[in-house]
Amino acid sequence: MPPSTNTLVLKQPLWKRVALLIAAAIFVVGGVYIILAGNYLLGILCTGFFGACGILMLLKPSRVVLTADAEGIVPTFVLPKGSVTKIPWSMVDKIYIATARMGSNKQHYLAITLHDPEFLTRNSTAQQIGAAMNQMIGSKMVDDGGVAQIYIPAAALPGWSVGKIVEQLNELRPVPITSGLNNSGVATSAAV
């Protein structure tokens, strides 16, 4: 059977990106007010962290979060700028929804577990840093215990539900073929 020509490109909607940039700016202003109120450490942390987030959003012009086709996926959200590391479908173990709980708030993530957990950290130092930051997101906050190698927050995904994205990604995955001997000793092959 010829490979599928379907390609799924997930882009962060522009309105979400603008909203996140505005939120970062509001927190930077809030940090300045905290500094002026006399709480220097908290104010500097708030201003520095959200200022860095805003600058990173401005420096990363591409809104493509993930690209998938019949060969595999490119999770550009967790890769350094310019990297095109494609993860073949044979390397992907599971694609699912992970949930992080912070008090009464819940944040959903598109989670991807790889057969080889070191796959994304083998290449460049920048990819190792990106993978380490991605693991920090999932380490203790997410309900799966941080076992996935890739976490993409729902806020970075298009307006669809994360469940629909999981379904679409799983539809693109080729069905693996296993072969072996049946109880009669006859060679078989079957789709799993």
Task: Give 21-44 pLDDT, tens digit per residue.
Answer: 899 999 999 999 999 999 999 999
- Highest CATH level, class, for 64-174: mainly beta
Task: Give 155-167 pLDDT, tens digit per residue.
Answer: 788 876 888 989 9
As a whole number of angstroms, the distance between CA 21 and CA 57 comes to 7
As a whole number of angstroms, the distance between CA 40 and CA 33 comes to 10
Checking if the pLDDT of 4 tops 70, the result is no
- Output the pLDDT for position 142: 66
Q: How far is the CA of 113 from the CAs of 14, 97, 151, 165, 183, in angstroms?
A: 28, 11, 9, 15, 33
Task: Give 74-97 pLDDT, tens digit per residue.
Answer: 888 777 766 778 889 999 999 998
Rg (CA), the chain: 20
